[in-house]
């Protein structure tokens, strides 16, 4: 199939080409946790860049549960006009825009001052950085029902705002992914134990959202192909979860991998191995795509047109691109115009401390997003140390703002 061939989804909607701007965490909310002017400027750049699908950075379903300070929250209608403008900008050049909705579970920094929750009271293992995260509280059964309602409400609001769909984030070690993993989910009730039980929350959220939104509104899932942790969620589990999702009205499944504990989405496994430099998870994707009734999208390290074509040739329906589009938003348009050799990448960070290298990598990506959000040129050669220090300063300021907001209990 061609990179610039339209993709027809199971619900009848059409994505104009096979390139998606994958979700990246922007941390560009305004002081009330809505989309800021900077965030809208960033998405205008991506809308003009030629990708067929724009996936937002995660939008939180609960302002008490944030993946980071400066995150966007959508709980009610009070800021809906800002989200309408976000959706309008995303659709302006013909792309679809889907809102990625998320709950961090235990992957919420202790500095934000909120109690974290998870399927079980299992702490993150990050070596010297473990103290950055609290021991989570195990969710009670009735609290799980409330979480499902929050995902449904945010999806409803996304549809009202004019987004074309939502993506439920069940990867990268966030809450839905925590339920899927036998390492973080040690429950013995109906939400834990067998894979069918561990997948129950994801399936219930999918069913509840699908029952509430219009048929033409897309419902997608982001799923780890593997956690890259010994004894964790693996490729066989991912294939089985996709088969369970086959029975529901899911329009697309995106495959990625890793978590805070094993940041494979950046190209490194937990044991220190460097994964293939592009299309990290392609070895898993073809087999899973063969078992899936819905289109499969693959994300992880893709930055060149020949690799996009390799991904599509494997039976995967879409290629998700993150970092490369943070550096060069116009990459899809350049490829379509005949610049087949165009590419964009960051230099590798070869620090011995993998945890700090991971933080520096994320900071370097966010530096590029910040440049675009201010209408400036990106700089892939920025010093990782400089980017990390700048990001730490910004995060400290955002954390203070967030804590003041929560202390005032200001409604959104």
**Residue 355: per-residue pLDDT:** 78
Give me the average pLDDT of each 10-residue run along the chain (412 residues): 94 98 96 96 98 97 95 96 98 98 96 96 81 92 96 98 98 94 95 97 98 98 78 85 97 83 47 45 82 94 92 94 97 97 94 86 96 98 97 96 86 47
Contact 229, 270 (CB under 8 A): yes
Region for residue 71 given its phi and psi (left: phi exceeds 0; alpha: psi -120 to 50; beta: otherwise)? beta
Residue 204 in any domain: the answer is yes
Residue 132's Cβ-count burial label (10 Å; 0-12, 13-18, 19+) is middle
Provide CB contacts within 8 A for 126, sequence distance 6+. Answer: 132, 133, 260, 261, 355
- Please indicate, yes or no, if residue 144 is contained in any of the structural domains: yes
312 and 289 in contact (C-beta within 8 Å)?
no
Give per-residue burial for 275-312: e unless 16+ CB within 10 Å, then b. Answer: beebbbbbebbebbbeebebbbbbbbbbbbbebbbbbb
Is residue 89 assigned to a domain? Answer: yes
129 strand-pairing partners: none
Question: Across-strand partners of 137?
Answer: 117
pLDDT of residue 412: 43
3-state SS class at 348: coil
CA–CA distance, 382 with 293 (Å, rounded to integer) = 43
Domain count for the chain, please give it.
1
Q: Could you tell me if residue 25 is inside a domain?
A: yes
Domain range for 363 is 7-408
Long-range contacts of the stretch 401-404 (C-beta < 8 A, 24+) = 401/31, 401/69, 402/66, 402/69, 402/70, 402/112, 403/112, 403/113
Query: Distance between CA atoms of 44 and 38, rounded to whole angstroms?
Result: 10
- The pLDDT, as a whole number, for residue 358 is 84
3-class SS string, 135-172:
CCEECCHHHHHHHHHHHHHHHHHHHHHCCCEEEEEECC
Give the pair of three-digit tokens for residue 296.
Answer: 């499969």
Query: Is 1 a domain residue?
Result: no
- For Cα atoms 203, 106, 259, give the angle at the middle one, nearest 5 degrees: 75
Q: What is the pLDDT of residue 228?
A: 63
Please report the DSSP string for 304-319 in residue order. Answer: BHHHHHHHHHTT-SEE
What pLDDT is stored for residue 341 in this prediction? 95
Which residues does residue 268 pair with via DSSP β-bridges, in sequence order? Answer: 274
Q: What is the CATH number of the domain that holds 224?
A: 3.20.20.70
Contacts with 366 (C-beta within 8 Å, 6 or more apart), sequence order: 25, 26, 27, 387, 391
What is the pLDDT, as a whole number, of residue 353?
A: 86
Distance from C-alpha of 351 to C-alpha of 360, rounded to nearest angstrom:
9
What would the DSSP string read from start to end of 41-110? HHHHHHHTTT-SEEEPSPEES-TTS-SSTT-EE--SGGGHHHHHHHHHHHHTTS-EEEEEEE--TT-SBG
């Amino acid at each position: 199939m061609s990179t610039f061939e339209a993709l027809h989804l199971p619900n009848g909607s059409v994505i104009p080409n096979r390139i998606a701007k994958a979700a990246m965490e922007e941390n560009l909310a305004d002081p009330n946790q809505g989309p800021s002017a900077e965030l809208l400027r960033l998405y205008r750049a991506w809308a003009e860049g030629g990708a067929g699908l724009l996936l937002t950075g995660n939008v939180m379903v609960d302002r008490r549960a944030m993946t980071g300070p400066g995150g966007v929250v959508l709980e009610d209608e009070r800021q809906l006009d800002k989200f309408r403008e976000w959706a309008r900008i995303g659709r302006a050049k013909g792309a679809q825009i889907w809102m990625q909705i998320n709950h961090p579970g235990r992957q919420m920094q202790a500095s934000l001052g909120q109690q974290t929750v998870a399927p079980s009271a299992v702490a993150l293992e990050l070596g010297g950085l473990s103290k950055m995260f609290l021991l989570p509280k195990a969710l009670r059964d009735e609290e799980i029902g409330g979480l499902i309602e929050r995902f449904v409400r945010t999806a409803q609001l996304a549809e009202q705002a004019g987004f074309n769909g939502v993506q439920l984030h069940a990867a990268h070690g966030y809450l839905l992914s925590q339920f899927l993993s036998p390492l973080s989910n040690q429950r013995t009730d109906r939400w834990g134990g067998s894979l069918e039980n561990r997948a129950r929350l994801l399936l219930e959220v999918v069913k509840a959202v699908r029952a509430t939104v219009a048929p033409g509104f897309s419902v997608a899932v982001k799923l780890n192909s593997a956690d890259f942790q010994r004894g964790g969620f693996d490729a066989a589990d991912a294939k089985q979860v996709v088969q369970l999702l086959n029975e529901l009205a899911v329009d697309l499944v995106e495959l990625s991998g890793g978590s805070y504990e094993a940041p494979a989405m950046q190209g490194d496994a937990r044991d220190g191995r460097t994964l293939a430099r592009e299309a990290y998870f392609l070895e898993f994707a073809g087999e899973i795509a063969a078992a899936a009734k819905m289109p499969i999208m693959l994300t992880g390290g893709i930055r060149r047109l020949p690799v996009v074509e390799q991904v599509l040739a494997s039976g995967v329906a879409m290629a998700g691109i993150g970092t490369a589009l943070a550096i060069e938003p116009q990459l899809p348009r350049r490829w379509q115009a005949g610049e087949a050799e165009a590419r964009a990448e960051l230099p590798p960070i070869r620090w011995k401390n993998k945890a700090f290298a991971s933080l520096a990598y994320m900071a370097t990506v966010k530096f590029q997003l910040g440049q675009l959000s201010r209408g400036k040129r990106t700089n892939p050669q920025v010093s990782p140390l400089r980017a990390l220090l700048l990001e730490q300063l910004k995060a400290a300021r955002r954390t203070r703002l967030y804590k003041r907001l929560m202390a005032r209990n200001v409604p959104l």
